[in-house]
Amino acid sequence: MGFFGFLLLGLLAGVIAKALLPGRQSTGWLLTLVLGVLGAVLGGWLGSVLFNRGLEEFFSIQTWLLAILGSVVVFLIYGALRKR
């Protein structure tokens, strides 16, 4: 997957994670992109450590699930740090 594909994956995973979480997250599109990309990296790393499966092709369901799961975790951490 190329650089721009990874950015698009991170942005879309961030938007989906933001929609899945309850409450209102006051993040703009740039912060959603950054948190989504961080979440995709985290999801790919966790997938390769726990399941021996990392991020693969852009259109792979495994890639999307790992990226969205990682983005949800990053959004939860961001929300907890922001409330302090």
- 65-80 confidence digits (pLDDT tens): 999 999 999 999 998 9
54 has a pLDDT exceeding 80? no
Structure-block tokens of residue 18: 């933001």
For CA atoms 75, 79, 80, 84, give the dihedral sign: positive
Least Cα distance to 9 among 36, 35, 30, 29 occurs for 36
50 has a pLDDT exceeding 90? no
pTM: 0.89
Phi and psi dihedrals of 65, rounded to 5? -65, -40
More confident position, 83 or 31? 31
Rounded Cα distance, 74 and 60, in Å: 21
Tell me what the pLDDT averaged over the chain comes to: 89
Whether 43 and 67 have beta carbons less than 8 Å apart is answered as yes
